[in-house]
């Protein structure tokens, strides 16, 4: 199954007073994961935006297993879990520098027209890229 | 069933380039909801911290129904969904100023010792407050 | 001199691993301060946006005097320091619940056309509101 | 003069409804800049924390010249501007992928004892590293 790996370093601003990455910040780590997955497929969120397609998130799920701390180097493993032309679900596993699983989650996004903000199908070229990835 | 209502106004910093509240920010709206629920019960997260008890989040779930926009006045309705002495689950519904449901979600937190960061049971006084609330 | 007072409570997400409000978050506290000042004058940032006027910040200055902590109730005192039809400078003083000055700062914003993102003069009705306030 | 260059890519979460990086987020870009500068000198903020030294920011200044947008690759050039054993000032210039200067700023930090939160002098080993850098 196709998956993409992105590394990033935890920033001071992302850590809360427990010394742990604030739980809400994993949403943006996931965002970095799928942004880089899409870039790697030759697509990009920015390219979709330029074509008038936005992708708001309709569902988010995070399961916190171990904490991440300031200056940790974490590894985000992103997969396309499901694609239906109107929705796409990405799943994520995040590991720390000791290769321990620290977080698992998923986000489901829909395609909307950026003028009307109404749901629409994904652009054909985008669907082709995704489907090709899923069948490989 | 006991529930607590908190109102807040969406800040500019919380909105993304779609003009919608960034999906990751609902985690902190939920946090405001349960903070105020606990304060209203005569307890507080701060009081727990002063006693050496921290409450990291182990699970988060958000379902996005309608967008919230800059300067919207939103209403967070928070409930205690489940309490087991080692975990507590809060559920949330968020409404906009037109009384439309815009978001639903939940967070599960555990009790940990702030010195060892190991799991522990909730303090007795806290358990009593929560259980009294749940049986009313 | 006209000034506007806004109260807010420090959120968990805003605090860093020192237990202090992260220094970058004062920018959004200032934003809340000037948003509420403008609302109180019968104007609003949202109203300007609806007329096609955006107000990006071109200068920010923060001086940190005492820390703010989780759950603190802080008081933001906002003033219009200078207005020139193309720029507006707000100044801020923030106090904690013990009435101690914890932070001072300022932000300068320009008016831009939301289509072209080019600088423009402030709308007349906005200038009149501000000038009336400054001369009172 | 010694300077350190760090590259990063603008995240979706960092952009506001104007499509620009929210002005308050430059504080965390600066933080990434000085974190990497210190790591490159063989020191680190984390190492200081482990020795019981914290470095709260007492002054921040940002001058916004051009906007940064989602997915932009920006370059942060960080310098040590001043060091006095009780305070350290870093200055920053940020460039976009077209090599245009988009932002300039500075932050001043003090050294405090992490137990008492009282001011203290910088550790000797840290002062030696910084002074060696400044005189080269």
In DSSP notation, C31-88 reads HHHHHHHHHHTT--HHHHHHTTEE--EEEEEEEE-S---TT-EEEEEEEEEEE-SSEE
- Disruptive mutation site among A13, A15, A27 for chain D (greatest number of D CBs within 10 Å): A13
- Percent over 70 (pLDDT), chain A: 100
Structural fold of domain A3-135: Thiol Ester Dehydrase; Chain A (3.10.129)
What is the total residue count of chain D? Answer: 136
| Among B residues 46-75, those touching chain D with beta carbons less than 8 Å apart | 70
Q: Rounded to an integer, what distance in angstroms lies between the CA atom of residue D119 and that of residue D117?
A: 7
User: Mean pLDDT lowest for which of B17-26, B99-108, C113-122, D38-47?
Assistant: D38-47
**What's the pLDDT tens digit per position in D82-131?**
999 999 999 999 999 999 999 999 999 999 999 999 999 999 999 999 99
Half-sphere exposure of B3 (CA within 13 A, CB side): 13
Query: For position D118, what pLDDT does the model report?
Result: 95
Q: Is the pLDDT of residue B45 over 90?
A: no
Query: For position C59, what pLDDT does the model report?
Result: 98
Q: Rounded to an integer, what distance in angstroms lies between the CA atom of residue A70 and that of residue A14?
A: 8
Contacts of B66 (CB under 8 A, 6+ apart): B96, B100, B101, B102, B103
What is the total residue count of chain B? Answer: 136
Show the CA angle centred on residue A18, arms to residues A12 and A19, nearest 5°: 35
Closest approach of chain C CAs to the CA of A115, in angstroms? 15
Query: For position C43, what pLDDT does the model report?
Result: 86
Query: For position D14, what pLDDT does the model report?
Result: 97
Q: Is the pLDDT of residue D13 over 80?
A: yes
Among the partner residues C11, C44, C45, nearest to B32 by beta-carbon distance: C11
Taking contacts as CB-CB distances below 8 angstroms, the residues of chain C near D25 are 24
Q: Is B23 on the interface with C (CB under 8 A)?
A: no
**Across chain A, what does the average pLDDT equal?**
95
Among the partner residues C28, C44, C71, nearest to B11 by beta-carbon distance: C28
Q: Which two tokens stand for residue A51?
A: 């074509």
What is the total residue count of chain A? Answer: 136
Q: Is the pLDDT of residue C113 over 80?
A: yes
Rounded mean pLDDT of D21-43? 96
Closest approach of chain D CAs to the CA of B75, in angstroms? 22
Among chain D residues, CA nearest to A47: D71
User: What secondary structure letter does DSSP report for A21?
Assistant: B
Q: Is B22 on the interface with D (CB under 8 A)?
A: yes
ipTM of the complex: 0.94
CB atoms within 10 A of CB B84: 12
User: What secondary structure letter does DSSP report for D98?
Assistant: T
- Percent over 70 (pLDDT), chain B: 100
Taking contacts as CB-CB distances below 8 angstroms, the residues of chain C near D31 are 24
Q: Is A32 on the interface with B (CB under 8 A)?
A: no
Contacts of A77 (CB under 8 A, 6+ apart): A3, A4, A5, A33, A92, A93, A94, A95
- Disruptive mutation site among A14, A23, A63 for chain B (greatest number of B CBs within 10 Å): A23
**What's the pLDDT tens digit per position in C25-49?**
999 999 999 999 999 998 888 889 8
Question: C25 phi and psi, to 5 degrees?
Answer: -75, -15
pTM of the model: 0.95
User: B-C interface: how many C-beta pairs under 8 angstroms?
Assistant: 36
Q: Rounded to an integer, what distance in angstroms lies between the CA atom of residue D30 and that of residue A78?
A: 28
Query: In this structure, is the dihedral angle defined by the CA atoms of residues C36, C39, C40 and C43, taken in order, positive or negative?
Result: positive
Rounded mean pLDDT of C56-73? 97
Q: Is the pLDDT of residue B135 over 90?
A: no
Q: Is the pLDDT of residue D136 over 90?
A: no
Identify the band that residue C17 occupies on the pLDDT scale cut at 50, 70 and 90: very high
Q: Rounded to an integer, what distance in angstroms lies between the CA atom of residue C37 and that of residue B68?
A: 22
Query: For position B130, what pLDDT does the model report?
Result: 94
Q: Is C20 on the interface with D (CB under 8 A)?
A: yes
Q: Is B101 on the interface with A (CB under 8 A)?
A: no
Taking contacts as CB-CB distances below 8 angstroms, the residues of chain C near D58 are 63-64
Rounded mean pLDDT of B19-40? 96
Show the CA angle centred on residue D127, arms to residues D123 and D129, nearest 5°: 120
Paired strand residues for C21:
C15
Torsion from C-alpha of C27, C30, C36, C39, nearest 10 degrees: -70
Query: For position C135, what pLDDT does the model report?
Result: 85
**What's the pLDDT tens digit per position in A41-98?**
988 888 898 899 999 999 999 999 999 999 999 999 999 999 999 999 999 999 999 9
Q: Is the pLDDT of residue B136 over 80?
A: no
Identify the band that residue A121 occupies on the pLDDT scale cut at 50, 70 and 90: very high
What is the total residue count of chain C? Answer: 136
């Amino acid at each position: 199954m196709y998956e993409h790996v992105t590394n990033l370093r935890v920033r001071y601003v992302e850590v809360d007073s427990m010394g742990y990455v604030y739980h809400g910040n994993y949403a943006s780590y996931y965002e970095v994961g799928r942004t880089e997955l899409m870039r790697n497929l030759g697509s990009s969120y920015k390219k979709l935006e330029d074509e008038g397609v936005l992708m708001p998130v309709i569902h988010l799920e995070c399961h916190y297993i171990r904490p991440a701390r300031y200056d940790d180097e974490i590894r985000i493993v992103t997969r396309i879990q499901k694609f239906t032309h109107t929705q796409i679900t990405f799943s994520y596993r995040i590991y720390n520098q000791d290769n321990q699983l620290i977080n698992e989650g998923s986000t489901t996004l829909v395609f909307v027209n950026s003028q009307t903000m109404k749901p629409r199908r994904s652009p054909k070229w985008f669907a082709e890229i995704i489907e090709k990835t899923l069948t490989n």
